[in-house]
Structure 1
Amino acid sequence: MERIPVYEPYLAGNVSDYVNECLTTGWISSRGGFIAKFEAAFAEFTGAKDATSVANGTVAIHLVLEALEIGPGDEVIVPSLTYVASVNTILQTGAKPIFVDSLEGTLQVDPAAIRGAITPRTKAVMAVHLYGHPCDMDTIVAICREHDLLLIEDCAEAFGSLWKGRHVGTFGDAATFSFFGNKTITTGEGGMVLARDPEVMSRCRRLKSQGVSPGREYWHDMLAYNYRMTNIEAAIGLAQIEMAAEIIAIKCKVADEYRVGLSSLPLRTHDPVGDVSHSYWMCSIILDRAEDRDPLRAYLAQQGIETRPFFAQAHLMPHCRTDEVFPIGASLSERGINLPSYPGLTSAQIERICAAVSSFWRQGI
């Protein structure tokens, strides 16, 4: 039986040619022409003024938190239903994550919960665009302006996602993207940072490169990091950007086929709500009953179909545990499954997956 993985990268186009150019010219490390080309192409695609590449999506978040001078004594509001990197990076700065609940319909952070969590120590809000659906940016931006808070967008899972025609990552003071191997566009590892203020962007560039002085060789006048992307990664990224519209269109078609194939079952697909473009990083289903989730995943595994559960709530992790209860996030976390979501999926494979999901209930398992 053919195994269907949850994700495979889509490495077509100029990927091989650009990587081979790095190899033949010797520009394989964090210097080389593809770095600037990828950053410029990414900024153009998202509608940002500027972009700077980094080693991965996690250090991208840490970098912007540092560049925005968030640290001990500060609070950062973040959804509990998120990948743990969103929270770990807040803790790494010495700041305190303040967890809030999510919305049932979109899976995104609840703006009303953000408003209710603001204290005199709140310095920033982190909006995480989960699984490719945008957060309610109109409301979140308004809250941040009203309370003079910094806004950080974690767009690790939302390349290609639009809120009212505008690419996510262009609303906040800073934004971050991930290019891990299972992301919509990939560089293997890698990430990108956007920032509204040119001074913040300049600080990001210095912080990611050991704090080197712009005017003096081997002079480092700040505590900083080595968070740079390699030229080979940027070469892959440039080739991916060139195919980005094609990749996103294919992923939307995959999601549409799931929506049709899984209709009338005791579950719902993660559909766009409002004037948004959902990039479908993952094609997600939310079951009606939490008790069906693990048996369904086990059944699909027996059929050679790999899946992933929704993220566990971050506030339940041992190193940042709180006694709070976030009922919507808890329910979503327990009911959610991510199905195979890669662009190379065939219609026949999707039909097989939908048939397997349907047979789970037909057999009364």
Structure 2
Amino acid sequence: MIPFLDLKAQYASIKDELDAAVLKVLASTQYILGEEVAAFEREFASYCGTRHAIAVNTGTSGLHLALLAAGIGPEDEVITIPFTFVATVSAICYTGARPVFVDVDPVTLTMDPAKLEAAITPRTKAIMPVHLYGQMADMAAIMEIAGRHGVPVIEDACQAHGAEYLGRRAGSIGLSGCFSFYPGKNLGACGEGGIVVTNDDQHMKTIRMLRDWGQEQRYHHTLKGFNYRMDGIQGAILRVKLRHLDGWTDARRQRARHYSALLAGPSRIRTPVEVPGRRHVYHVYAIRAHDRDGLQRALQAEGIQTGLHYPIPVHLQKAHLDLGYGAGDFPVSEAAAREVLSLPIYPEMTIRQVEQVVAAVEQEVYVG
């Protein structure tokens, strides 16, 4: 069997480092925040090229607090895309604001800037592009439009650790950028975790208070806050893993290049496009196939695990039908939801395994 992801292999490769880091936290008894989390914040901010990083308990919490710190609340509108994980939209809803969708670009499946301006209204208070699958959205175009309208941009970079746009790291271009450290991410915790990066001092200060019950100092609650703090153990684990992230990213990119070279032939398969000037970090390697479900079943029969990211766009999810959208409103997102299939990709995957997956895909495409 070829798994979609192999976290056991990753753990085995750094077991001694991780075990030592966890034991150090246990001995220190700094279980919530503490020195390991503070050190990770400094190191991750440096990695992203920002002045500040504020560690939280999940990527969703990061999105929520970044929006609140930007002043988003009831009666406001936040523009994002429907082809994303539901957490993007949920974070907007948590603030009381209304999510407003624009369709995605048919090549990158990230926010289509050509559709953005028409969605801006007097109630628009933020724009939240999603750096999907490990490739950044067209930030120059988005920032230009946002700047003309005086609207802040908050980057959903939860799938884009280390991705770049014209040499700038994900999270460093907008007012803030938010990352998830869910275990399956390119930089994953051994549990849950998230972070917000920013260059804005006041934004940083507000998020730091909001994550810890709104405290400016202990028992002095300046804001109505939340318990969104990162565990000390996760901070220590992420410090270890961050040291390996560039090597892991290079391995992902190598396997993605091998996939793309081998899959260049089948006309019924479309492979990911890495746009010039954007460094794709391949959180997932998502192909497109007209008979996506049939291909997935055929690969499963060959012992190859795959993923669906994402089979139902958010505007068609039952939980969000109250937003008033319907089928046909965002045709590019809806087509992608029917066609996208994520193939296995992870740093420990062998080139031989990549070739086995490709052989199975070609068997189904040409013969199936």
For residue 355 of structure 2, what is the amino acid of its counterpart? E
Q: Match for residue 301 of structure 1?
A: 300
Q: Identify which of 3, 6, 9 aligns with 1:8.
A: 6
Unaligned runs of 5+ in 2: none
| Residue 67 of structure 2: aligned partner | 65
Q: Which residue of 2 aligns with 1:356?
A: 360
Query: Partner letter of residue 247 of structure 1?
Result: W
Specify the SS of the correspondent of 2:154. Answer: strand
The CA RMSD measured in Å over matched residues stands at 1.3
Residue 232, structure 1, aligned to residue 236, structure 2: no
| Contact 2:63/2:91, CA 8 A, preserved across alignment | yes
* Structure 1 equivalent of residue 43 of structure 2: 41
The amino acid across from 2:63 in the alignment is I
Q: Which runs of at least 4 in structure 1 moved beyond 4 Å after TM superposition?
A: none
CA distance in 2, matches of 1:66, 1:174: 12
Provide the residue aligned with 1:328 in structure 2.
332
Give the drift of 1:244. Answer: 1.2
Identity among equivalent positions (%) equals 35
Alpha-carbon distance in 1 for matches of 2:198, 2:175: 6
In the alignment, the residues of structure 1 paired with residue 68 and residue 203 of structure 2 have an alpha-carbon distance, to the nearest angstrom, of 10
Inter-partner Cα distance in structure 2 for 1:285 and 1:235: 35
Does the 8 A contact of 1:310 with 1:334 survive in 2? no
Alignment check: 8 A CA contact 1:310 1:332 kept: no
2:318 is aligned to 318
Residue of structure 2 equivalent to 1:78: 80
User: Partner amino acid for 1:22?
Assistant: V
1:25 Cα shift?
A: 2.9
Q: Measure how far apart 1:310 and its partner are.
A: 2.7
Q: C-alpha offsets along residues 215-236 of structure 1, whole Å, 9 cap, x if unaligned?
A: xx32323211000111100111
Deviation for aligned residue 1:202? 0.5
Match of 2:251 in 1: 250
1:1-365 aligned at under 5 Å gives the runs 3-9=1-7, 10-11=10-11, 12-13=13-14, 14-27=17-30, 29-187=31-189, 188-214=191-217, 217-265=218-266, 266-287=268-289, 289=290, 292-311=291-310, 312-321=312-321, 322-323=325-326, 325-363=329-367, 365=368
- Conserved in 1, the CA contact under 8 Å of 2:33 and 2:229? no
Task: Return the letter of the residue paired with 1:92.
Answer: Y
* Other structure's SS at 1:44 match: helix
Q: What secondary structure is seen at the aligned counterpart in 1 of 2:303? A: coil
Which amino acid counterpart does residue 67 of structure 1 have in structure 2? Answer: A
Q: Secondary structure at the match of 1:149?
A: coil
Residue type of the alignment partner of 2:232: N
For this pair of structures, how many residues does the alignment match? 356
Per-residue deviation, 1:350 = 1.0
CA drift of 1:267 comes to: 1.1
| Letter of the structure 2 residue corresponding to residue 34 of structure 1 | E
Normalised by the length of structure 1, the TM-score is 0.95
TM-score, with length taken from structure 2: 0.94
- In the alignment, the residues of structure 1 paired with residue 198 and residue 33 of structure 2 have an alpha-carbon distance, to the nearest angstrom, of 22
Describe the SS at the equivalent of 1:150.
coil
